[in-house]
Structure formats: structure tokens, C-alpha cells
Amino acid sequence: MNPIAIRPARPGDAAGIARLDVETWQAAYAGILTVPYLVGLSAERRERGWASVIRREPRDVRVAVDGDGIIRGFGSCGACRDEAGFSGEVFTLYVAPDWQNRGIGRALLLALFARLVERGHDSAVVWVLRDNPARFFYQRLGGREVRRKTLPVGGVSVAASGYGWRDLPQFLSTAARDERQPEP
């Protein structure tokens, strides 16, 4: 099995991220978002979006690549988009279905937190759809549910929870002590 490496995104990653983005949305949100919306997701459209995000600041996007250089997970972060009382935000975090539960999500989240701290953000929030079991992953990694809201996604209103970390430097130093590398 291949080792996994986490690195900042490069311009050539947009297509690989977009493909995985659509694949993971269709897997994670089946039964939560509408079928027409999920079927209509376009990797080409998302590739244009990711290319522009990467052009703006490649270090705000992290990818998990296997030994063949194939992207198996990705995440992105930046300044918090609302007044949630947190400075930074993790906007996306997705791991390919066949690669979940090997420590890749944790490694990506820690890399995004480290990037936020580097940018001067000492706290962070992540918004997750409440019907998405991924929220228990954030709880497992020390996030506390701090806010709730309704988000419009694909023509429907869905309930979302905000998970917060109030002290990222402290969280990262504790995580570094019990560090576990992604499994091959």
C-alpha cells in the first residue's frame, strides 16, 4: 500500500480535487440533499472554482496524495465567513470513500489548523450538515458544537451545526504529543 503525504495544493491539482469533490458529495449527501442536485454536480464547474481558489492562495488548500500522486483527500480554510466568534474557518474537508478511517481526515484537519495559526487565526469553526455523521468526526477531534443554523443547499434548507475550537495553538501542541501518521 502507498504512503500518504499531505501538502499544499498546486495549480495542476484543481481537476483531481474537483473529481473527488463531486464523488464525496454524492456519497456523503445521498439522502440528505436532493437526487437531481447531486446528479447535476459538475466536476468541470467545480474545477474552475478550485482553480481560482488555488490561484488566490494555494497554501489555504491542502491535499492528501498517495504514493502515485493521486489525490485521496483535500481540505480548505481561511478567515471565518460570519460572526460566529471564531477567527478562522475550515471550509471543506473530504476523504475518498475507499480511503476513510486511516487517519487522513485527521492529518488534513491538523494541517489546515496549522495553516490557520500561521495566518494569525487562533480559533476555528467548521460547519457540518446535522444529518451528516461526519460531525462525530469533529467531536472526536475535540470540536464542540457552538452554533446551529439553516443553510440553503441545492434549493432546500438544511440544518447545520458549527463545531468550534477556541485555542488552535493549544490543540495542535496536544495533538502533536499523541501524533498518529495516516496509515498506508
The binding site for ligand COA (CB under 6 A) comprises 24, 28, 93-95, 100-106, 128, 132-134, 136-137, 140
3-state secondary structure of 158: strand
Q: How far is the CB of 93 from ligand COA (least distance, A)?
A: 5
Residue number with CB closer to ligand COA (11 or 183) = 183
User: What are the phi and psi torsion angles at 32 (to 5°)?
Assistant: -110, -50
Residue number with CB closer to ligand COA (87 or 161) = 161
Nearest-CB residue to ligand COA?
105
Residue number with CB closer to ligand COA (55 or 164) = 164
Distance CA 119, CA 141 (A): 21
Residue number with CB closer to ligand COA (55 or 156) = 156
Answer yes or no: are the C-beta atoms of 4 and 65 closer than 8 Å: yes
**Residue 152, all three cell numbers:** 440553503
**Residue 100, all three cell numbers:** 476513510
Q: How far is the CB of 99 from ligand COA (least distance, A)?
A: 7
Tell which residue, 14, 29, 52, has the closest CA to residue 154.
Answer: 29
3-state secondary structure of 63: strand
Q: How far is the CB of 21 from ligand COA (least distance, A)?
A: 10
Q: How far is the CB of 74 from ligand COA (least distance, A)?
A: 9
